[in-house]
Structure 1
């Protein structure tokens, strides 16, 4: 890419080359992706050196003292970090170096935003925690969930605000590079004769000015994405530092060729023949020396297949009877209580049944039930005469 362009157009062309990768139109595993990333990184670091040599930003300034046409270049640290984060796929060491460079670029971006007072107090706390390698999320699961929801809502609100304020009205789901390109002039059909050595950082002076608040919203959106990226980088670096170098080779291969993976016996669960000596299971006097499992013998399956079938099976007990059979068995064992409910409440009592039977005059059954009822009433009257009301109440007299 030619550098015989004004700095804003040079930055715009670099972002335009990265946009298919940032939009996931081109996967990072695509053979075309890594050359694009490498070329874009060369241009981005060149732009960074130009900005430093021009002294565009200073630690003694505030956000109000920076021109609207220079604010867009504050996003350079995030772009470098995101580009570095997508590269380094030729091996573990290359990936670690790429992630470390991305982490450095992200931290530089956060420091720049803090020095210019762009962030809110809450965002400053997140930046401070991320810079120290700590997570800004609380440890409590409920509070962590609330923090993630609040972060998602803040990102959604920022995207909506940016989309409404930009003249092109990009979609809210667009990548941040789309928002940045809306701030930059880019016309590939119009050659420019202005060199970057002139120090011009004017961003499209002939077009409509973008409000400062819109640019600040884009920078805050990039800050939210930076916090998430730093958290992912810390976790990946920890995993890579503990992984053997021989099994983390993830170099790009031709998809038409069969994939070959390097084997490493240190990560295999099954032991290689000759690496250990079999121990005795039972001593000479019949004592068991170590636990063992007796498997059924079959010629259709190997030992490995039988072991796999015994290990990888359902973690729950499968039913051996139907529900009706289960209920019948439980009722037979007396574990099911029957009766009760409204039907039991409405059913007549024994005394009421005797009264009903006694009303059938002239029958033997009626006379028997009448006699039973008379004896019951007489016994109750005798019991009531002999036992006065409250006679047995010794704890609560009255």
Structure 2
């Protein structure tokens, strides 16, 4: 069958919604809605942030349905047959997977469903790339810890190179450290009316689009691995209690507003009045959830066995703030710290850029580090500091 129009002809195809925007501009608008949520500009726990995230997800699903109904991508064509304006729409699956992975409200079951939808979107994205032979099959990270670390280091190296190439190839030269959503936006037209001349040549975006798809493929492997780990945790999480637990010993007093309270008025006790500077508990207290919603206090009253007298309370945020003030919070660490490249590995990566000032500086740092270590080993014999097991 002969195709009469291009699937992404911006003068013909419009999104059938409340806004008659062309499909590329509608996708760009969804990305602009999503970008401040993903890059941390908006507070993640606010209801308004989740509402904006949900709007972006709804628009992305609409874009995906339009692409499917129009048959933009086919198993019977090669990558050379795909127009440069169509390549950017291969990123819809990745964008949707990232957006779904950000949904964190509604409890464990809702979170699990969001992660499963994220996996489906990421898998769909990889399937499109495999159809056009842009990536080999089986993009998941290996199970062996050593091989997994090597794969992540290799992906980190490719990601750095691809970001620099994309930044150079894209019109406007965005920052190489930008969020990939910013790169996708660089391939799409603005949702504002264009004022450029009709005779002005449009920039070639085919090369940066193909580079971007390779970058997103590497990022997808890590995202699928993170989703799998969180789903494993959720699968082994304890079931929530089915009913409230009543403690007959609790003496409750009724507040003027008609609610029952077990603790004193908020703010009567400060964290320093409950925990001494040396970490000794000065008086018993109950740690509440970080939110101060009344429903959480009511759940605490009903679900927790406690002493017969009223206890002061401290939220988890107040407790962590007090521990941070006392210097008991360790920064960094965890899985992200374990997977991150070491200082020596980063220096070796930088040294590969022969002829650049950064490579020379990295080489000098590596040399000084090796000299310092050699001097230390010469001055300190192996086992010299072990005084615990001497006879």
TM tier relative to shorter chain: 0.5 to 0.7
> Could you tell me how far 1:173 is from its partner in structure 2?
0.9
Q: Does 1:221 align with 2:215?
A: yes
CA contact (8 A) 2:28 2:191 kept: no
- Bigger-Rg structure (1/2): 1
CA contact (8 A) 2:26 2:191 kept: no
Greater than 3 Å deviation, 4+ residue runs: 204-207, 253-259, 261-266
Per-residue CA distance 1:209-264 (angstroms, 9 max, x = gap): 334221011111111111111001111111111113428xxxxx996757937569
> How many angstroms apart in 2 are the aligned matches of 1:149 and 1:259?
45
> How many angstroms apart in 1 are the aligned matches of 2:295 and 2:175?
39
Aligned position for 1:151 = 155
TM-score, normalising length: structure 2: 0.56
Provide closer, same or farther for how the CA distance between residues 210 and 265 of structure 1 changes in structure 2, counting only shifts above 3 A. farther
Equivalent residue runs for 1:253-332 within 5 Å: 257=293, 260=296, 262=299
Equivalent residue runs for 1:1-398 within 5 Å: 2-119=18-135, 121=136, 124-126=137-139, 130=140, 136-137=141-142, 139-141=144-146, 143-188=147-192, 190=193, 208-246=202-240, 257=293, 260=296, 262=299
> How many angstroms apart in 2 are the aligned matches of 1:12 and 1:205?
24
Per-residue CA distance 1:11-61 (angstroms, 9 max, x = gap): 111101111112211132122211011111111111111111111111111
> How many angstroms apart in 1 are the aligned matches of 2:301 and 2:219?
37
Provide closer, same or farther for how the CA distance between residues 245 and 37 of structure 1 changes in structure 2, counting only shifts above 3 A. farther
CA contact (8 A) 1:88 1:96 kept: no
> How many angstroms apart in 1 are the aligned matches of 2:50 and 2:201?
34
Provide closer, same or farther for how the CA distance between residues 70 and 49 of structure 1 changes in structure 2, counting only shifts above 3 A. same
Provide closer, same or farther for how the CA distance between residues 206 and 191 of structure 1 changes in structure 2, counting only shifts above 3 A. closer
Provide closer, same or farther for how the CA distance between residues 96 and 24 of structure 1 changes in structure 2, counting only shifts above 3 A. same
Aligned position for 2:366 = none
> How many angstroms apart in 1 are the aligned matches of 2:291 and 2:190?
35
> How many angstroms apart in 2 are the aligned matches of 1:180 and 1:264?
50
Relative CO higher for 1 or 2, CA cutoff 8 Å, sep ≥ 6? 1
> How many angstroms apart in 2 are the aligned matches of 1:77 and 1:47?
10
Per-residue CA distance 1:160-179 (angstroms, 9 max, x = gap): 11001111111111001100
> How many angstroms apart in 1 are the aligned matches of 2:199 and 2:48?
35
CA RMSD of aligned residues (A): 3.3
> Could you tell me how far 1:110 is from its partner in structure 2?
0.5
SS class of match (1:177): helix
Could you tell me which runs of 5 or more consecutive residues in structure 2 were left unpaired when the two chains were aligned.
Answer: 1-16, 242-288, 308-386
> How many angstroms apart in 2 are the aligned matches of 1:244 and 1:54?
45
